[in-house]
Amino acid sequence: MSNEFDRVVDALPGLAFTTREDGSVDCVNHAWCAYTGHSAHQVADAGWLSAVHPEDLSGTINAWKNAVHSGQPYRKELRLQRADGTYRWFVSDGKPMRDDQGMILRWWVISVDIDEQKRDKALIARTLAEVSASQDRLNTIINAIPGFVWSATPDGSVSFVNQRWCDFTGMSLDEARGDGWVRAVHPDDAGPLAQRWGALLQTGEAGEYETRLRRFDGDYRWFIVRAVPQRDAWGAVTCWYGENTDIEDRKRAEMLAASRAIEHRLSEETLSKVRSELAHLARVASLSAVTASIAHEVNQPLAGIITNASTCLRMLGADPPNVTGALETARRTIRDGNRAADVIYRLRALFSKKDITLESIDLNEAVREVIAMLLSELQRNGVTLHPELADHLPQVKADRVHVQQVILNLILNAIEAMKTMTGRTRHLHVTTGLDEHRQVCFAVEDNGCGFDPLDAERLFTAFYTTKTTGMGIGLSISRSIIEQHDGVLWACLNNEAGATFQFTLPPVTDTKEGI
């Protein structure tokens, strides 16, 4: 068997082994060997039967053979010998594993220790046998038991309930006899309870179920109802004994935990909506900072359109008309119109409210588009731009608009940091590349005023700002966006002057994704 399969078998709870389709053992877990003291070689084939108690051996062999021959699940209570020679009770379950055609490939058998349960059942049986000799003594003992105790005939008709049942429900023993006790069951639980009780009566097996019972004052409380059959020497059910335990407090705790889980999920959803609104607010807030650039970007093509249109009219109005020149002028008009439309489209996308849409993008191209919108802003503030974009940069899986929002915010912050500078040239370095971990990196480096080293992390806290204007949400939103893309955004001070803000994004590793 493979090592991985062995590990799977070892991980099974209880004493476990697997067999071939003919029922011969081919793999056993460490728990079986540790309990029995037998090696895997000794357990192989039919060797596992050597651990079965002699009194249980014949029945175990017959049950196992019947299961293997019929293909039906195997179940048997039996005693297995421990390495020190003592026996403990186990319930052994075996299930076949089949292929697509239904053919059995192998069997999985797991044995779980039930010795304590058996001892408890035996103790209960002995106790009930002892007290059954005297009805008065039986009633005295049962009425002293905390919880509700009852008995029923083999067909399920209740013959006795203890005084605690009567005190809780307000019913007398005569009112509860037969099926009168059903009147204390919650209407929503009566149907399922009747089905469960009927199934136990049919199979003759012990079982339990949860239901709500009405108190004498009309309130309902949750109970777990347990029923155990009493059998004669031939195995026939002679009566049923039951016990009801109040689990109302447990149920309330479970409902409270579920309610808190729902509240937590709703609070997470609310927080997500707030983050989305703040991200949109940050984009809109950035709009005022690039107004001059927007005007410049849109006015240039519009001015060209007006000039070309006037020239075209003049050429067409000449005698004779200059059709060739007019056509060329019309083409320039169309070009400038498309250019203006493209600028408006990019601005609309950048400041629109939308969810993240991931796609493979060229980070260099995204950076160039943002720089193109900010050229006038850079010139107006006397900033010298130094773009250093790496060649052959891998694409990243990202939302173009959201990443461009981060780039825009970092560049605008850098420009703002250099506004108060005097006596030296304002330099802004915008770079892309791969870091030592092969992550795609973007950095904005300025030679402005920098920041207090103690503020390195607080800069990214919502509503914290070192500027006299602004809401202090730009960097917080930017980091949130990058982290949503499985990236990292941080800041550091430069050696000489200013600061560098940079982020990394994982590259697209699958070439098909990048197409």
- Give the model's pLDDT for residue 6: 67
Lowest mean pLDDT among 222-236, 275-289, 343-357, 403-417: 275-289
Residue 222's closest CA among 262, 255, 266?
A: 255
What is the number of structural domains in the chain? 3
Residue 127 lies in a domain: no
Residue 332 lies in a domain: no
Q: Give me the chain's average pLDDT, please.
A: 81
Is 184 found in the same domain as 114?
no
Chosen domain end from 250, 265, 289: 250
Is 109 found in the same domain as 146?
no
pLDDT band (50, 70, 90) for residue 13: confident
Distance of alpha carbon 268 from alpha carbon 212, whole angstroms: 34
Is 373 found in the same domain as 503?
yes
Lowest mean pLDDT among 41-45, 106-110, 348-352, 427-431: 348-352
Give the residues across from 80 on adjacent strands.
Answer: 52, 88
Chosen domain end from 119, 153, 187: 119
DSSP at 181: G
* Average pLDDT estimate for 9-23: 84
> Taking the model in full, what pTM does it have?
0.37
Phi/psi at 287 (5° precision): -60, -40
Residue 258 lies in a domain: no
pLDDT band (50, 70, 90) for residue 513: very low
Chosen domain end from 199, 229, 250: 250
Is 167 found in the same domain as 114?
no
* Average pLDDT estimate for 51-55: 94
pLDDT band (50, 70, 90) for residue 462: low
Q: Render 256-290 in DSSP notation, one character per residue.
A: HHHHHHHHHHHHHHHHHHHHHHHHHHHHHHHHHHT
Distance of alpha carbon 472 from alpha carbon 463, whole angstroms: 4
**In Å, what is the CA distance from 256 to each residue of 194, 199, 210, 240, 249?**
29, 32, 18, 35, 10
State the burial class of residue 225 (Cβ atoms within 10 Å of its Cβ: 0-12, 13-18, 19+).
Answer: buried
Is 114 found in the same domain as 149?
no
Q: Which domain holds residue 59?
A: 1-119
Question: Per-residue pLDDT tens for 283-321?
Answer: 555 555 455 455 555 555 666 677 767 777 777 777 787
- Give the model's pLDDT for residue 514: 40
Is 198 found in the same domain as 61?
no
CB 402 within 8 A of CB 440: no
- Give the model's pLDDT for residue 84: 94
Is 236 found in the same domain as 149?
yes
Residue 346 lies in a domain: no
**In Å, what is the CA distance from 450 to each residue of 213, 224, 330, 422, 466?**
71, 67, 50, 14, 10
Dihedral of the alpha carbons of 60, 66, 68, 72, in degrees to the nearest 10: -110
Is 206 found in the same domain as 60?
no
pLDDT reading at 358 higher than 70: yes
Helix (H) or strand (E) holding 66: helix 54-70
Question: Per-residue pLDDT tens for 464-492?
Answer: 555 555 444 667 778 888 888 899 999 88
The CATH number of residue 421's host domain is 3.30.565.10
Is 508 found in the same domain as 362?
yes
Q: Are strands 383-388 and 426-434 parallel, antiparallel or unpaired?
A: parallel
Higher pLDDT, 512 or 180: 180
Residue 307 lies in a domain: no
Distance of alpha carbon 476 from alpha carbon 405, whole angstroms: 12
* Average pLDDT estimate for 167-192: 91
State the burial class of residue 13 (Cβ atoms within 10 Å of its Cβ: 0-12, 13-18, 19+).
Answer: exposed
Residue 89 lies in a domain: yes
Is 229 found in the same domain as 98?
no
Distance of alpha carbon 498 from alpha carbon 429, whole angstroms: 11
The CATH number of residue 214's host domain is 3.30.450.20
Is 411 found in the same domain as 509?
yes
Residue 372 lies in a domain: yes
CB 485 within 8 A of CB 403: yes
Residue 277 lies in a domain: no
Distance of alpha carbon 303 from alpha carbon 415, whole angstroms: 28
Is 421 found in the same domain as 488?
yes
Maximum average pLDDT range among 314-323, 334-343, 350-359, 404-413: 404-413
